[in-house]
Amino acid sequence: MTDSYNQRQNHLLAALPASDYKLLSMQLELIHLPQGKVLCESGAVFNYVYFPITSVISLLHVTEEGACAEIAVVGSEGMIGVSTFMGAETALGHAVVQNAGYAYRLNKQLLRQKFDRSDSVRHVLLRYTQALITHMAQTVVCNRHHSVDQQLCRWLLLNLDRSPTNELAVTHESIANKLGVRREGVTDAAGKLRSAGLIHYARGHITVLDRPRLEDRSCECYAVVKNEFDHMLPHLIAA
């Protein structure tokens, strides 16, 4: 089953020059990530970085009272553990598996060594970090200034971009927690999308039926984030 997966399915690994990739590839471990698994917690020391290929990871900020909000979502375009090469010893936030799937795991010290010694690796990782910061900043703007309907469309589209199928295993309550809004607001927004024929949902699964119309209903935040990541990969390959 795992024979159908390869390291180059992750965009960052695929962008590495052959010499750097060869050294890292021997240390990468393919693992399955079940939905809900916590990869790291805010402020905690972690030992591995993760390069998703079919899994989708939610980056969360959690308050002292236990409330949380999603600040970014990561799939095959990126990695979990950027603080490794940004000078921090602990995680910047909670990283929880949103959609189950596979990822490659690497000891964080090995990645830090390659970052310090290789200009090419440093370029790839810093360019990705720039795109990730854009993603986080746009999420803050969207959650503050746009309607729950627009936030839901953005959230669905970003997760869909990082999922190998058009189906997401998620409940309304889970989405509400990630957006930092009331569950009733998400249920109402999802009901509108279902009535319009854009999505179908049942038993904790949402299937996107009409992506173009879903994009039309989203705010500009989705396009800003998508364009940033679409522009990232060509720059990495050309470097």
- What number of CA atoms fall less than 13 Å from residue 200's CA on the CB side? 4
Q: Please give, one letter per residue, the 3-state secondary structure of 13-73.
A: HHHCCHHHHHHHHCCCEEEEECCCCEEECECCECCEEEEECCCEEEEEEECCCCCEEEEEE
Quote the pLDDT of residue 203. 84
Quote the pLDDT of residue 75. 96
Quote the pLDDT of residue 232. 79
In the block, tokens 């750097």 appear at 20
Domains and CATH numbers, the chain: 2-113 (2.60.120.10), 143-226 (1.10.10.10)
Please, are residues 69 and 180 in contact by the beta-carbon 8 Å criterion?
yes
Q: For the segment 173-183, what is each residue's pLDDT rounded down to a tens digit? A: 999 999 989 99
Q: Which two tokens stand for residue 47?
A: 């030992």
Quote the pLDDT of residue 239. 47
Quote the pLDDT of residue 66. 77
Alpha helices in the chain (DSSP H): 11-15, 18-25, 108-117, 119-145, 148-161, 172-179, 183-195, 211-217, 220-238
Quote the pLDDT of residue 52. 97
Supply the pTM of this predicted model: 0.92
Residue numbers in the chain where pLDDT is lower than 70: 1-3, 233-239
Quote the pLDDT of residue 2. 56
